[in-house]
Amino acid sequence: MKVLACAAAATLVALPAAADEITDTLRSAIEAYEEGDIAYALEEVDYARQKMLEKQSDALVGFLPEAPGGWTREVSSEMSAGLAMMGGGTGAQAEYREEGGDGAMSLTIVAGSPMVGAMSGMLANAAAMGLKVERIGRQKFAIQDEEVTGLVDSRILVQANGKDQEQIFALLEGIDYRALGRFGQ
Give per-residue pLDDT as tens, 47-68.
Answer: 888 888 778 778 899 999 999 9
Whether residues 87 and 14 fall in one domain: no
* Cβ neighbours of residue 176 closer than 8 Å, sequence gap 6 or more: 63
What predicted TM-score, i.e. pTM, was given to this entire model? 0.73
Same domain, 75 and 126: yes
Per-run averaged pLDDT (10 residues), the chain, 185 residues: 45 53 92 93 89 82 93 82 60 93 93 78 74 88 91 91 94 95 84
Report which DSSP code applies to 68: P
Residues 14 and 100 in one domain: no
- If phi > 0 it is left, if psi is from -120 to 50 it is alpha, else beta; for residue 89 that is left
Q: Which of 149, 105, 109, 156 is nearest to 131 (CA)?
A: 149
Residues 54 and 69 in one domain: no
Residues belonging to the chain: 185
Cα separation, 123 vs 154, in Å, equals 10
Report how far apart the first and last C-alpha atoms of the chain are (Å, whole number): 29
Q: Residue 52's domain spans which residues? A: 2-59
Report pLDDT digits (tens) over 27-51: 999 999 999 999 999 999 988 888 8
163 and 74 in a single domain? The answer is: yes
- Distance (Å, rounded) from C-alpha 41 to C-alpha 33? 5
Closest Cα to residue 109, out of 73, 76, 72, 131?
Answer: 76
Report the number of distinct structural domains present in the chain: 2
Are both 163 and 90 inside the same structural domain?
A: yes
**Are 44 and 125 part of one and the same domain?**
no
Q: How many other C-beta atoms lie within 10 A of the C-beta of residue 132?
A: 12
- Rounded CA separation 153/104 (Å): 28
